[in-house]
Structure 1
Amino acid sequence: NTMAIGVAVGDSPVGPFKDAIGKPLYDGSWDYIDPTVYIDDDGRAYLYWGNPNIYYAELNEDMISLKGEVGKLEQTVESFGAPNPEKRAKGVKYKDTYTEGPWLHKREGKYYLLYAAGGVPEHIAYSMSDGPLGPWKYMGEIMPLQDTGSFTNHCGVIDYKGNSYFFYHTGKLPGGGGFGRSAAVEQFKYNADGTFPIINATREGVLPVGTLNPYERVEAETIAFSEGVKSEPNAKTGIYISEIHNGDYIKVREVDFGNKSPKRFTATVASALRGGTLEVRTDSISGPLMAELTIPSTGGWECWKTLQADMLKPVTGIQDIYFVFKGRKGCKLFNFDWYKFNR
């Protein structure tokens, strides 16, 4: 009869995970949601959470217990655009209001607390500080309210290979909405003074930072874009692609085939039913057909079989490729674990 913060552990960032302590890490209030963790340069770890209040605590080195007392930030117009919820005056229009979904990170000695703001529907705003616990200064919006297909919007930020990326969520995929959200990402550059620029949602995605080698084993969950499919974990197999139905597809960008075309396509798949067909195409889901793999029943959804198909069309250079799945309409066709091309 309340919300709680739980903690799970795993040997990999993608799991499998298990409950670490057999009880909530912290519970007792309906606004205990949306936890985020930041580990500072000195190794100290901080936990933030809450809607519509902002709670914080330090984690012990074991990362599964709290160090000291839980605190609640004092929201003010200066720190978050509006005072704490119980102090807000009815009918007053404030600069902004913290709602939920905090994200804490650090860059060049400055701390950033990003969060969903404005109530419902939500936009993304942020505050900055010289320390992980404040005092905070409200800085403004990052992603203004716009058509994301969802009434909520939560975010995260990372730097990778010299680039900065802003993650958020949308309801734009088929079947999506406010309670059916998907992750999206935009590349951005901080302003010269370290503040955020305005970031808008797009369909283009981010620029590539490298190429993919198709002559080594590539996990099927290496995806630039997809429709219909899902991923599942297995302790023995690892992550694989499931829920493949007729018409679903996976797009993989920047595949470097070099100056000599491969001769064969190899994939590891599994099917408990009659299987289907895996088409490998370039340019689009209806583009030139490079290879076509006929997949039979393998005896089970995790009874894996490695199959090969000859290339139907030579391909060289850097290409975007599409795995297009075909078969009996309405039923699950097969699972897809990994693939490679063979010279």
Structure 2
Amino acid sequence: MTIYRKISLIGAAVCAALSINAQNPIIQTYFTADPAPMVYDGTVFLYTSHDEDSTVNNFFTMYDWRCYSSKDMVNWTDHGAVASLKNFTWMSKANGAWAPQCIERNGKFYLYVPIHGEGISVLVADSPTGPFHDPIGKRLVDSDHIWQDIDPTVAIDDNGQAYLYWGNPALWYVKLNDDMVSYDKSVGDNEIVSVEMTAEAFGSKAGRDGKPGTTYTEGPWFYKRNNLFYMIYAAEGIPEYISYSTAPTAEGPWTYRGHIMKRADHLAFTNHAGIIDFNGNSYIFYHDQNLSKGQGFKRSVCVEQFSYNADGSIPLITPTKAAVTKSVVNLNPFKKVEAETIAWSKGLKTEGNSQTGVYVTKIENDDYLTVRSVDFGKGAKKFAANVASGSHGGQIEVRVGNPNGELLGTIDVKNTGGWQKWIIVKGKVKTVTGIHDLCLVFKGAEGELFKFDWWQFE
């Protein structure tokens, strides 16, 4: 083997490793935070808050809530902003769309959302991706703690009773009625229960006033697994750890169990975790500030796979850049794949409308997207893409693995007559068989090249 070929292979291996391992954060097209995963019908739906690209007054600038989905835990499909502050016509608040959570009950999907300084509200939809609407026309939680009424988390126990927890710097809950948009107020002042914040329940540290307090700060995530209830939360002030407590019932008593994730330099000064089991695996979602290169008001959702200990306890989890290293299922490229289904991307955004749905935009020269674990089977002969261009167009390079991987083919995209004038373009590709990561690299002159709706091998 020649030295040149050795160097080439080493370079290709390095690029491939970077492509495979650079998966955290899992969303690169927007800044996303406060992950709230929900498993439904064989799919993980991930609801997030959304930090805008430009902050106002150097503070959290958040107007809507976004949704992404995955069947394989490595490729995430963007469903756009599924709800926003504009859903609440009774409220004039312009900023403050904070950490959400969604749950399904009887075929309806209930999205609980905090609005900074406006308490907690609820939206409902017939689909996990909306459209959501406001069923009650007012706050759901309207307490004396309105500025502290944030970060709702909801779960339903084995008896069918739904509990809604929330709070910073303390923890409160209500028992929701079966309609999921109200709770029993017939018991007077006790309809909202204030959880006793003890060292036994939530650990011990000095409070904000210097007096003894608990480690609990905010961002609760409440769920049941086997015979144990878990309360995951951001802990110990700013910057925040992720810690947890457990209880034998949904109402406690809670027992402090320690750290799940400690502070790390690339994590944001806030944190908010969500935990699910999916296809026999366990996953923790959180957010960091890697994508924004250290800007704490521009956060990004990450995920790690982990295993519970035999006694149900959660091990200490180290945040990584690798995210999930093995897909749950392989992706079928012979069915239409939405272009906004992405494992990793560079330079891209998404947008959408009622006619086309969500699509990839802001495509410029050398931008790219990668999709993982694509099963080519016995091979393909053609690549098709649905595109629109109001400019000079460009090319799609179809490559194996990463932006420098083997070139399978190049598809030309010309001016289609407008940015919403969609056409299907096709091109021949070299045969590739088996399972590979796929990278679509975009080439062209200066400026935006085209918009990209879906792709498919033939």
Taking structure 1 as the reference length, the TM-score comes to 0.89
Hey, what's the Cα distance between the residues in 1 that align with 2:352 and 2:165? 28
Deviation at 1:83, TM superposition (A): 8.1
- Structure 1 residues without counterparts, runs of 5 or longer: none
Q: Percent identity?
A: 50
Q: Is contact 1:6-1:26 (8 Å) kept?
A: yes
Tell me if 1:241 matches 2:357. no
Tell me if 1:183 matches 2:298. no
Q: Is contact 1:74-1:83 (8 Å) kept?
A: no
Hey, what's the Cα distance between the residues in 1 that align with 2:352 and 2:180? 24
* Cα separation, partners in 2 of 1:55 and 1:247, compared to 1, 3 Å: farther
Secondary structure, in 3 states, of the residue corresponding to 2:201? helix
Of residues 226-235 and 287-296 in structure 1, the stretch that sits farther from structure 2 once superposed is: 226-235
Deviation at 1:106, TM superposition (A): 0.9
* Residue of structure 1 aligned with 2:173, choices 53, 56, 69: 56
Tell me if 1:73 matches 2:200. no
* Residue of structure 1 aligned with 2:433, choices 316, 326, 333: 316
* Cα separation, partners in 2 of 1:55 and 1:332, compared to 1, 3 Å: farther
Aligned to 2:377: 258
Hey, what's the Cα distance between the residues in 1 that align with 2:420 and 2:414? 13
Aligned to 2:118: 3
Secondary structure, in 3 states, of the residue corresponding to 1:33? coil
Hey, what's the Cα distance between the residues in 1 that align with 2:347 and 2:179? 39
Hey, what's the Cα distance between the residues in 2 that align with 1:74 and 1:80? 10
Hey, what's the Cα distance between the residues in 1 that align with 2:419 and 2:156? 39
Runs of 4+ in 1 over 6 A off after TM superposition: none
Hey, what's the Cα distance between the residues in 1 that align with 2:134 and 2:388? 30
Q: Is contact 1:157-1:165 (8 Å) kept?
A: yes
Secondary structure, in 3 states, of the residue corresponding to 1:323? strand
Taking structure 2 as the reference length, the TM-score comes to 0.68
Deviation at 1:328, TM superposition (A): 4.0
Hey, what's the Cα distance between the residues in 2 that align with 1:264 and 1:77? 63
Q: Is contact 2:120-2:140 (8 Å) kept?
A: yes
Aligned to 1:337: 453
Q: Is contact 2:266-2:289 (8 Å) kept?
A: yes
* Residue of structure 1 aligned with 2:388, choices 270, 291, 294: 270
Secondary structure, in 3 states, of the residue corresponding to 2:272? coil
Q: Is contact 2:397-2:411 (8 Å) kept?
A: yes
Q: Is contact 1:112-1:126 (8 Å) kept?
A: yes
Aligned pairs (5 A) from 1:205-220: 205-206=323-324, 207-220=326-339
* Cα separation, partners in 2 of 1:151 and 1:215, compared to 1, 3 Å: same
* Residue of structure 1 aligned with 2:210, choices 46, 71, 90: 90
Q: Is contact 1:16-1:233 (8 Å) kept?
A: no
Hey, what's the Cα distance between the residues in 2 that align with 1:294 and 1:274? 11
Q: Is contact 2:176-2:183 (8 Å) kept?
A: yes
Deviations along 1:145-192, whole A, 9 cap, x unmatched? 112341111110111110111111111125563111111111100001
Deviation at 1:89, TM superposition (A): 6.5
Hey, what's the Cα distance between the residues in 1 that align with 2:175 and 2:443? 51
Hey, what's the Cα distance between the residues in 2 that align with 1:37 and 1:300? 45
- Structure 2 residues without counterparts, runs of 5 or longer: 1-92, 94-116, 186-190
Of residues 14-23 and 24-33 in structure 1, the stretch that sits farther from structure 2 once superposed is: 14-23
Deviation at 1:294, TM superposition (A): 2.3
Hey, what's the Cα distance between the residues in 2 that align with 1:132 and 1:4? 23
Hey, what's the Cα distance between the residues in 2 that align with 1:325 and 1:257? 21
Tell me if 1:154 matches 2:268. no
Hey, what's the Cα distance between the residues in 2 that align with 1:257 and 1:304? 26
Tell me if 1:38 matches 2:155. yes
Of residues 185-194 and 174-183 in structure 1, the stretch that sits farther from structure 2 once superposed is: 174-183
Which AA in structure 2 matches 1:78?
E
RCO greater where, 1 or 2, for CA within 8 Å and sep 6 or more?
A: 2
Hey, what's the Cα distance between the residues in 2 that align with 1:272 and 1:32? 47
Tell me if 1:24 matches 2:139. yes
Deviation at 1:91, TM superposition (A): 6.5
Secondary structure, in 3 states, of the residue corresponding to 2:313? coil
Pairwise CA RMSD: 2.3
* Residue of structure 2 aligned with 1:202, choices 300, 308, 320: 320
Tell me if 1:221 matches 2:333. no
Hey, what's the Cα distance between the residues in 1 that align with 2:294 and 2:411? 31
Aligned to 2:67: none
Q: Is contact 1:165-1:186 (8 Å) kept?
A: yes
Which AA in structure 2 matches 1:74?
E
Which AA in structure 1 matches 2:141?
Y
Hey, what's the Cα distance between the residues in 2 that align with 1:59 and 1:338? 41
Deviation at 1:242, TM superposition (A): 3.1
Deviation at 1:35, TM superposition (A): 1.4
Deviation at 1:56, TM superposition (A): 1.2
Deviations along 1:117-150, whole A, 9 cap, x unmatched? 1111011000000111211111000011112341
Hey, what's the Cα distance between the residues in 1 that align with 2:236 and 2:337? 42
Which AA in structure 2 matches 1:122?
E
Deviations along 1:179-235, whole A, 9 cap, x unmatched? 111111111000010000111111112122221111111122322222333344544
Which AA in structure 2 matches 1:11?
D
